[in-house]
Amino acid sequence: MSGKARLAGVMGWPIGHSRSPRLHGHWLERYGIDGAYVPLAVPPERAEQAIRALPALGFRGCNVTVPFKEIAFRTVDRLDATARRMGAVNTIVVHADGTLEGGNTDGFGFLENVKAGCRDWSAEQGPAVVIGAGGAARAVAVALLDAGAPEIRLVNRTRARAEELAADIGGPIAVVDWVSRETALEGAALLVNTTTQGMTGHPPLDLDLRALPVAAVVNDIVYTPLDTPLLVAARSRGNRAVDGLGMLLHQARPGFQAWFGVEPEVTPDLARIVLEG
C-alpha cells in the first residue's frame, strides 16, 4: 500500500464483529489494488461528524452498519432513489468535489443472492411472503416490488409495525397477522425470513411449511449458521433453499466498484474466507 492508496471502510458501533474488512481485503488482494478497507469504530454521538470528515481524510467512501444507517440517510448531501425509498443508507460514495452520496445495496444483495442460488427464479413468478418488519424486511420488500413481484404478504408479530412499513413503501403489500402466518404461505412462490429467528443463539422461526408449495424458493437472510432450521425444513420437503451469506457478499459489490474501480466477483473462495472470519 502506497501513499496514493484508495481508502474505504465500514463505520459502526461496535464494529469488531464486521466481516466486511475480510471481504473487501480479499478483493483488494485478488485484483492487486493499491488500497485499504478499514473498520471505523465511531461512538454514536460522533457519527455525523465522522461521516462529514470522510472527504478531508481522503476516503473514497464507506459502508455504514447499525446503528448508523438512518444517521447516514440524514447526513449525506444526496441520496440515490433506492436509499430514498428504503429510508436508510448502507453505502456512501465521496465524489471528486467532496460531496457525499448515499445508497442502499441491501436489496441488490438480496436479489443477486437468490438469483445465484436459483438461476431460474424471478420475482414475477408469484407472491412473496416476507417474515419480519425491520430494516432488512424493508430492503427485501422494496427490491421485490421493484423487480416485479405481484404481491408481498408481510408477516410480523407486531401488526402495527408491519402496517407502518407497508404504508411507507406502498404497492401491493398485504399485512398478515402472526396467527395467520401459515395461511399466508398458500400459493406463494418465495418465502423470506428477515428476522433473527434461527440465528445462532436465537430460537428457530416458528413456522409450519405444510401450506407452502414445493416449487417455492425459501431464503433465510441469516448466515450464522448457514443451514438454519427453516432451510433444513424446506430442503427436507423438496423446496429449494438459499442461505443468507450471499446477500452479505453481493451487497458489497457496488461499493467496491465505486471506491476501487473494479467490479468484483463473488466466488466460493470469498465465501469460505468470510465464513472463516
In a domain, 118, yes or no: yes
Active site residue 115: no
Question: Residues at the annotated binding site for shikimate?
Answer: 18-20, 65, 90, 106, 223, 251
Question: Hey, which bits of the chain come out as E strands?
Answer: 6-12, 35-41, 59-64, 78-79, 91-94, 100-103, 128-131, 152-155, 173-176, 190-193, 217-220, 240-242
Question: Residues at the annotated binding site?
Answer: 18-20, 65, 90, 106, 132-136, 156-161, 221, 223, 244, 251
Looking at residue 254, its pLDDT comes to: 98
According to DSSP, residue 105 is labeled: -
In a domain, 66, yes or no: yes
In a domain, 217, yes or no: yes
Looking at residue 197, its pLDDT comes to: 95
For the chain, the domain total comes to: 2
Looking at residue 66, its pLDDT comes to: 84
Query: Can you read off the three cell numbers belonging to residue 119?
Result: 438461476
Buried b (16+ CB within 10 A) or exposed e, 141-151: bbbbbbbebeb
Q: Which among 26, 69, 85, 253 is annotated as catalytic?
A: 69
Same domain, 94 and 159: no
Same domain, 240 and 111: yes
Question: Residues at the annotated binding site for NADP(+)?
Answer: 132-136, 156-161, 221, 244
Q: What is the CATH number of the domain that holds 214?
A: 3.40.50.720
In a domain, 178, yes or no: yes
In a domain, 17, yes or no: yes
Same domain, 234 and 126: yes
In a domain, 1, yes or no: no
By residue range, what is the domain housing residue 37?
6-105+252-276
For the chain, 277 residues long, give each residue's pLDDT as a single digit of tens.
888 999 999 999 999 989 999 999 999 999 999 999 999 999 999 999 999 999 999 999 999 998 899 999 999 999 999 999 999 999 999 999 999 999 999 999 999 999 999 999 999 999 999 999 999 999 999 999 999 999 999 999 999 999 999 999 999 999 999 999 999 999 999 999 999 999 999 999 999 999 999 999 999 999 999 999 999 999 999 999 999 999 999 999 999 999 999 999 999 999 999 998 6
Q: In the block, which residue shows the cell 475480510?
A: 22
Same domain, 133 and 258: no
